[in-house]
Structures are given as structure tokens and as C-alpha cells.
Structure 1
């Protein structure tokens, strides 16, 4: 499973314990029709949905686990459990709450300028993108950020979705490129070596933006303006990043 980088680090600094729940093991990536027993999302203080290399709507391929997960997300929303969705996770939030996910006319791969309406919640960046699908907003969602190719962030009740990858680190990108990503990037006209060079250049500033994003999510979903020291809390992660 890929690490969660500065996103997990910031949650830990806010007093959260992390309960990981990977769904598809690496050896099953080419045949991800697996089953899993999700923990009850309503038993956690927050849920983090990570990326995945598949499409949320490909139920023939991943319906064995994505449909039960969608049920869990509806239950979490009804219970008021905060959910933070990243890339595939954000698309899943859109699909669960009345939006749609479709192939994007233009895949986004690499560091991308993102325009935001709320710097305190979703800092403008560049942010790292790697996605081939895009969401269409749920009816009552409020879009917070966008790029020319896709909506980049929305909020709906206590759910926050982002299309980019705030968890990315140079080591993580190296792993993606070494496990098939280099060929996929090349197919889309992107140079893998240049992506890694730029990621190293952006790493420090991007980590600070990621920390601010987590801070914004916690403020958005908490009755407190600043989280205070408290007993350790737990939240589940759902799968390796795409």
C-alpha cells in the first residue's frame, strides 16, 4: 500500500490514530474483483478515501467492493461522519451523493494550476494530478476549486472531495512510475523524468499546502475552530493511491 504522506502526518498531528483498510492488494491489481469486509464507517471520527487506478462506474470490474463501499459512505453521511475523498475517493463521493463520474475529455497528469474560491479550505496550488475521469457535481454540492479540464474540489455537508493528490511525495511518484505509471504517462505525452524532477522541486511547498488542506477539512467538519488535544481518535484509509 502506498503511504499517505503529509496528509496522514497532519491528521496524526491533530490527534488522530490511523486505521488502514486496503481493499485491493498489489497482486490483484490486474484482477481487482475482490471482496472485503469494510469496518463500519460510522464508528470513526473521520474517513479518508484514497485513489485507485480504476473507474468508479466500472461495476463489472470493481462492483464487488465499490458498491458496498458506496453504501458505507451513505451511512457515514447520514450519521454526520466527516469524509475526505482524494481523486478516486472524491469521484466516489460525487457518485454516492447524486453526481456522476465520466471519462474526462483531457486526462490530467502532472502539476496543474488550480483556481480556488476559498484559500483557507483548498489552497490554490499547483497540485499534482493523475486522473482520466472527472466528476459532475452532486445537485447540492458547492464547488470550491477547478482547473480548465475538471472540477477540482467540492464540499457537501461534512464531505470534502478533491480531484488532485495532496498526499504525493517524490518517493510515492517514483513507486507509481516504476509500477506501470511511466508507460501510461508517456502514452499521454508526459515525460516521466520531468514529472519526477518537478515533483522534487515542488515537494516542500506542496507539503505545506497539503497540511493546510487537512487543517481546512478539520475546521470545516468540527464545531471547534482549532482542534484541541484530545484522546487519540481513529479513522480508516481505504486503498492505495492511484
Structure 2
């Protein structure tokens, strides 16, 4: 991440001249969730399909359980003596899915009590609580526009948000959740590249470069146009 620093402060004192600085990346890695019964919560998140990475028990009742949701670069931690927040007090934690209807069916199959899919009356982000909720997904299935909510056994509140296309520049790296996702991305690129070669009128010797750009754009990276 690059920023510019310098200028004058509010008192008019001249600061260092403007210059570009390279900032250290700040990547959201962990959300600590306060729970009252660790094993009950472990069962809940396991049923959701979260991968258990660590279950560490230390002295004096200290315990850390680390879970990673499917396809996520960030994780959650539950345990004892890891937070002084009240169990159930974490609210508004969002998970992103690319098919909110299918995700809801999976949650129901796992025995989770979940809301109906909804969108916001304003058409952008949802309001607090149930204010502005309109039943059903966004009318045009607009990316970022459809939601559902659920809770864990302690009442920690979660929202699923459907994102099918990222805002340009929003993605800094591409993460595929499975071999099947990589295969599908390659097949989509192959189909699109076939159309591109028809326009060219000959084979494209630099097809790896074209594939890479197409797959990156499809995943939401901001890269130069194909051609």
C-alpha cells in the first residue's frame, strides 16, 4: 500500500515534504469470538464446515481453538481466557458467499437456525437489526446486495453477504478454495480465449499471459484490459 505524507498541520507548521511511503500491509487475520462452552461451540463450527486448525490447552484453563471458514484467508478463535468480552456479544461478523441460496440450504442442513434471504430497502448495505429489511434477494441479484443472518449457540451474530463480482481494486490477491474452482476458472478462460483467437484470426502464442489476465480480472483484481 502506498500513501503520501507531508504538508502542514492544523497550526500551519510545515511538515516534511510530500513523498511516497510504502506502508506495511495490514491484513485482517483473526476474529476472536466470546463463547461460554468451548466444546459446544466447536461442534457448531465443525457442523458449519469450518476447518479446525488448532486446539491448544495450556495451564490455568487457558485454551485456544482456531477455525478457518471454507475458502477464507481469515479465521476465528474461540476459547477460554482469550477475551474478556461477554459470550454472545460479537455482532455483525460478515461471511461472504457467492451463492447465498445454496449457503442457506447448507446452514439449514447443518441444523442452524437461519433467517430468510433479504436485501436492504436502500439497495446498498443493510441497516442495523431488522430495519429496512425486504424479503428476498436483491431484485437484480446485485453483487453485495443480498444477505441472511444467523447466530451461534451463545448468540454471537453473523451475516452472510452474497458477492459475485468484486468492486475493481477491492481484491489484492486471488485465492481459490478448491481444485474444482481452479478447474472452472481455467475452463472459463479457455472458452473466452477461444473467442479472442477468433477475433485475432490466428493462434495466440502468448495465451498464458492472456489466461492469467482473464482469470485475475474474473476474480476481481484490477489489471489492464485483455487484448
Fold-level similarity (TM above 0.5):
no
The two structures have a TM-score, normalised by structure 1, of: 0.29
TM-score, scaled relative to structure 2 = 0.30
Larger radius of gyration: 2
